[in-house]
Amino acid sequence: MSHSISSPTSLNRRTLLMGSMGLLTGAAAFRFPTPAIAQSVPLKVGLMLPYSGTFAKLGKFIDDGMRLYVEQNGGSLGGRRIEFVQVDDESKPESATDNMNRLVGREKVDVVVGTVHSGVAMAMVKVARDTNTMLIIPNAGVNEATGPLCAPNIFRTSFSNWQVCHPMGKVMFDAGHRNVATITWRYAAGTQMIDAFKEGFTKAGGKIADDLALPFPEVEFQALIARIATLKPDAMFAFFAGGGAVKFVKDYAAAGLNKSIPLYGAGFLTDGTIQAQGADAAGIKTTLHYADDLDLPANKRFLEAFKAKTGNDGDIYAVQGYDAGALLKSGLEAVKGDWSARAAVVEAMRGAKFDSPRGPVSFNKANNPVQNVYLREVRNGRNEMISIAGTAVDDPARGCRVQA
């Protein structure tokens, strides 16, 4: 299977890349297909992801994971060939509405898969609701997407910010930590993940020494690291991801804090970053809905196939992209490729259950995955599972009115 990249069309210097997995000819001519011929027209999937900036690697691994899934299915899902259109969202919330409108309005995609950054995802959710476009979120954890802004056309194959961090509160309390400080970027994902951790930790009886933050995507950590050294909490809880996570972990170790103040975090602190962090990441404990060494046939098959396709070790981002493919297939198969049968597509996707590389996945009433959350530790250059911090963890979907 191949995909082609045509020359970019510029929109305020943003990049639009066209990729195809199947027939390109004829797609544009059939923007309003009748059901009878709909299945012969490729399903157009808009990939709105960061292909540049601090989350560039995360976006690439989601893209690779999704393409791997489609490739393993011969380029078609439920009998529909899949065609991709890519947009680099640069993790910039201020460009998100334009980017999304372009995919929906000009490119006339059938479904959008994106994105990584919670602030960008918020704008995407609003456009998806206004235009009734099907949206599959393959990373961004912004609670609202499957909370107060939940909708039948909005699904997530990743996590909510609450879901992956709440279990860590009890884990850290049970490890004997009583006085913990937090650090993150000051934006939706950072704030919501820290709040979820604090909810679990203070409920268990812990106290918060201080909350430290800097604007996204800044990486000048020195002043905050000096503050941690002065505070001397029992332990730290952190959320950073991508390039920022690499720099934070290295700076923390360079200041010698990893020897005296144990570092914990949301799993993004060490997922997809561990090679670049090297020995500085050793011993960091995190919670996430994935671990590199999960002893599951689906995980082994996935890691082998991902390595064979890309030459890289799979991570949570690749898994979430792969599962976006699996979710799309559930919907398309139920209607034999007739995407216009929206109610049946939604019903099938909401009822989907699959053996993900991360373990069993199903969906709650707000279309957020119900899944295990694992406690991991960086050992031997991998995020190894220590225990299951929460089995079949379900996001509370606060503010989501049950959908029709």
Binding site for ligand BEZ (CB under 6 A): 55, 116-118, 139-142, 189, 241, 268
Q: Shortest distance, CB of residue 257 to ligand BEZ, whole angstroms?
A: 23
Q: In angstroms, rounded to a whole number, what is the distance separating the alpha carbons of residues 351 and 365?
A: 10
Nearer to ligand BEZ, 38 or 49 (CB): 49
| Cis, bond preceding 115 (omega within 30 deg of 0) | yes
Report, in Å, the least distance between residue 142 CB and ligand BEZ. 6
Measured from the CB atom, the residue of 313 and 355 that comes closer to ligand BEZ is 313
Question: Under a CB-based contact definition with an 8 Å cutoff, are residues 52 and 117 in contact?
Answer: no
The residue among 20 and 270 lying less far from ligand BEZ, judged by its C-beta, is 270
DSSP, residue by residue, 214-234: E-TT----HHHHHHHHHH--S
In whole angstroms, what separates CA 35 from the centre of its chain?
A: 33
Complex with ligand BEZ: residue 196 or 345, whichever CB lies closer: 196
Of 77 and 121, the one with the shorter C-beta distance to ligand BEZ is 121
User: Using CB atoms within 10 A of its CB, is residue 324 exposed (0-12), middle (13-18) or buried (19+)?
Assistant: buried
Nearer to ligand BEZ, 320 or 330 (CB): 320
The contacts of residue 333 (CB under 8 Å, 6+ apart) are 77, 78, 79, 348
Residue nearest to ligand BEZ (CB): 189
The conformation of residue 110, written as its DSSP 8-state character, comes to S
Integer-rounded Cα Rg, in Å, for the chain is 21
CB of 139 to ligand BEZ, least distance (A): 6
Identity of the residue, 268 or 339, whose beta carbon is nearer to ligand BEZ in the bound complex: 268
Whole-number Å distance between alpha carbons of 380 and 356: 24
Quote the least distance from Cβ 299 to ligand BEZ, whole Å: 20
126 membership: H or E segment, kind and range:
helix 118-131
Distances (CA, A) of 243 to 125, 155, 248, 335: 26, 27, 9, 41
Backbone φ and ψ of 282, nearest 5°: -55, 130
Least Å distance, CB 147 to ligand BEZ, is 14
Name which of 48 and 189 has its Cβ closer to ligand BEZ.
189
The Cα–Cα gap between 8 and 132 comes to 27
Spatial CA neighbour of 113 closest among 157, 152, 150, 146: 157
- Between 173 and 268, CB nearer to ligand BEZ: 268
Neighbours of 265 (CB within 10 A): 28
Distances (CA, A) of 280 to 5, 238, 246, 254: 38, 15, 9, 8
- Nearby residues of 34 by Cβ (< 8 Å), 6 or more positions away: none
- Pick between residue 197 and residue 339 the one whose CB is nearest to ligand BEZ: 197
Min CB(367)–ligand BEZ separation in Å: 16
Minimum separation from the CB atom of position 140 to ligand BEZ (A): 4
Min CB(80)–ligand BEZ separation in Å? 29
Three-state DSSP class for residue 103: helix
Nearer residue to ligand BEZ within complex by CB, 200 or 233: 200
CA dist 270 and 256 (Å) reads: 18
Query: CA–CA distance from 147 to each of 196, 274, 367 (Å)?
Result: 14, 32, 10
Question: CB of 352: closest distance to ligand BEZ in angstroms?
Answer: 22
